A and B are shown apart, each in its own frame.
Chain A
Amino acid sequence: MLSILKGPKYEQILQKARDNWVEYTPTKEEVVTAGIDSSFNNTKFQGIELWATTAVSIKSNGEILVDLHKSGLGSADDISSIASKMEIEACEKTIDEVDMVLMDGSLHSQLMTRQANLGSQIVKVMKKKDNVIFIAKTSNTKKQFEKLGSLAGDIFYYNHVTNNPGFSKIFVEKKYGADKIISSTFVRLSDSTPIIKLEFLGEQHDEDEVKTIMNKLYKTSVGGYPYALKLAHNNCKISDKELAKMVSLLGLSNEIGSREVLS
């Protein structure tokens, strides 16, 4: 399996990854963080579509700061966009309440692919207190080793050359414009845990700041992943079962032919 990913410069890439890796064992630092995540789901029946979106902001202690819901009947081509907007709204309502806001996913994907039209809004919110970080469990970006002909994402190579806690040298992406510069680093919070990707807005971030943030994240992380984000994910998830409940609440389950919704 591994051999497929071994291009001619495989060893060179690994060496580069090793060179980029800064070993650092975080120490727990007290901080109030909130995790933000959103979710959407939809179901069709009798030519109508029922959709629902949620966004949640939650602290590591389980206190829900923001809980947003939207739902509707009819075509919803852009429910992911609705969910993203709600995430930004939740973030806006959270930044003054906590020390650090953790957004689930990738800033890069928010700016570039998912919701490019929401870019300026995100930037505005993130700049307000400069306390918002995007955290991705998985990352597909192939920025750092593309010149060496990498086949896998950057995260793959860091995972292969390291096992210890630490972070990769900050990588700065400027191609989205001067106000949308993204600084990113791959981080491992404790021994043998999966690597996560942190993204910040702007280029003014240095290694000391990454270390401080690692200390803050480490305080409330389980298995190398911030618990607030796990809680956010669990609290905003809209399962098919929940959609079925909504169908029932709206009185649609009694409609003829509506049973497929529940199946």
Chain B
Amino acid sequence: MSLGFVIGESKPTFVTALTSRALSVGEYIKISSDEGEILGLVEKSSVSSAAFTDVKNFDEASESTEIAELNKRDKTFTAHIGILGFLENLRRGQSIIPAIPPIPGTEITLPSKQDLEEIFSPEKEGWVSIGSLLRNKSIDAKVNLDKIVSRHLGILAMTGMGKSNLVSLVTKQISKLKGTVIIFDYHNDYTSLNIPRINVIDAKINPRLLDADQLSDVLEIRDSATVQQRVLRMAFSEQVKKTKEFWKKLENEIDFIINSDDNKLKEIRSSAYRVQDIIEESQKRFEDILDPDMGDPISFIKEGRANILNISELSEKQANVALAFYLQQLLKDRKDASIARHGKSKKERNYQFNSPIFVIIEEAHVFIPKDHDTSAKYWAAKIAREGRKFGLGLGIVSQRPRSVDLNVLSQMGSFAIMKIIQEDDQRQIASATESTSRELIAQLTSLNVGDAVLVGQWTNLPSLVHVDEVKEKIMGADQSAINAWAKADKMKEIAVESTQGLVQKDLLLD
């Protein structure tokens, strides 16, 4: 059935069509051409009414409503369509843009269910369903998980738009395939994720494994306190790292500086006192976090599981140090394992991970910031560049794409972009995702919760999808303050009644 006709100036990548009804953004259409059928995506859609053009006031608008109803030629439905390639090639996963633009006057029609299924729901290994096409609910939207592990994934959206749901969904699907996922859970969103093969770990830091600068960050010595940092550097010797009584030995080293008669050390005595206080305080404050007696932190991560690394107890700096450590170790392990497997290393060694890993960094703008360097950013960037060679995939999740380092962001081979209103964020996304057209980016403001634009290598084509809700995800939804207050008030009443009932009546005061 004819849906409309190509009009105006058409290009090999873009056409405009006048249609018999308003088309939705995200709808797929088919354009016939001499070279074969072409698939297009509606990127912008508009409706105009002749009766309402030049209308200057309320009365005229009111009068025009009757006219508009009478005149069947009154409405003009215009669709701006991005050309995705020949249908035949797209079925095989190849996007080949026609050399000759569709001739104006060419008819456009709706693709069949089968046409779309072959492209968006391929029955191939590694492709898993994450929802349905936004405008064709009956078509499963599948993504290629292989591609996100080998070429990374960016999940970008405003808060509350379904980022953590998508992360949970991807994790669940990888977990089903017995793959290894590690989520750095900054807000304790995933620890209650009720999926099989889940391994929740409270992230701890072994201070022995850090360098002096990292330890300074972990102990929260101020950046400007350079003398205190110097004291710590002097005290945090290799010997301290190796000794059994870590904290005691470290304090002894500081004591040595305090009690020294050396004139140079006398000058920094007051700072040494402060460092001593900090260390003492940290041992109490960070008792659950800093553990010099823990084994290799990486050994807590289990292969073939969905590992939720709870870093919510850590401060931003501590989380940064921990993240950098884990990323560094994971890259090293995967690198060694890959090299060994390819016979380039003669070393006989057991590797922690013998298969690819997918690492997800939540709140990427905190750890991979645009405007300053952090050690986590260094290692994340390294994984973004080199990870694919060693089977270490990176997933970065952020609600503020504008604040994420563009170099890292542009290394992401695939993206799920949900509702984004801020223009700065949209610009950053446009810079990072060359394949996403301006029209598609402009649609980001109109997406609803759970709707996402999928672009990049994990799909055959840019697509607008509605992501399935992960029922197993308990946390992460907005909390209802009103319900919580009502509940708290009720509890208060219950508490009063029950305690009063327990007190002997003659003991009650008037």
Contact = CB atoms under 8 A, between A and B. Distances in A.
A222 B60 contact: yes
Interface string B35-63: 00000000000000011000111011001
Contacts of B70: 60-62, 220
B51 A227 contact: yes
Contacts of B344: none
B66 A62 contact: no
Most chain A CB neighbours (cut-off 10 Å) among B55, B70, B72, B74? B70
Interface in A13-59: none
A210 B60 CA distance: 23
B435 interface: no
B56 A60 contact: no
Nearest to B53: A234
Nearest to A28: B66
- For the residues of A in contact with B, the DSSP-based class is loop
Given A221-B63, A222-B60, A61 B71 contact: yes
Nearest to A222: B63
Interface residues of A, number: 14
B71 A62 contact: yes
B64 A222 contact: yes
Contacts of A191: 59
A190 B67 contact: no
Nearest to B66: A220
Contacts of A61: 70-72
B74 A62 contact: yes
Interface residues on B, range: 10 to 19
Most chain B CB neighbours (cut-off 10 Å) among A191, A219, A221, A223? A223
A164 to B, nearest CB: 13
Given A60-B67, A234-B50, A223 B72 contact: no
A149 B51 CA distance: 41
A222 B74 CA distance: 14
Interface string A202-224: 00000000000000000111110
B346 interface: no
B9 to A, nearest CB: 14
A62 B73 contact: yes
Nearest to A220: B67
Contacts of B74: 62
B60 A223 contact: yes
B51 A222 contact: yes
Nearest to A218: B63
Nearest to B73: A62
A191 B70 CA distance: 23
Contacts of A62: 70-74
Contacts of B73: 62
A61 B71 CA distance: 4
A222 B56 CA distance: 10
Contacts of B71: 60-62, 231
6 contacts: A61-B71, A61-B72, A62-B73, A222-B63, A222-B64, A223-B63
Interface of A: 60-62, 190-191, 193, 219-223, 227, 231, 234
The 7 closest A-B pairs by CB, nearest first: A62-B71, A62-B73, A61-B70, A223-B60, A222-B63, A227-B67, A61-B71
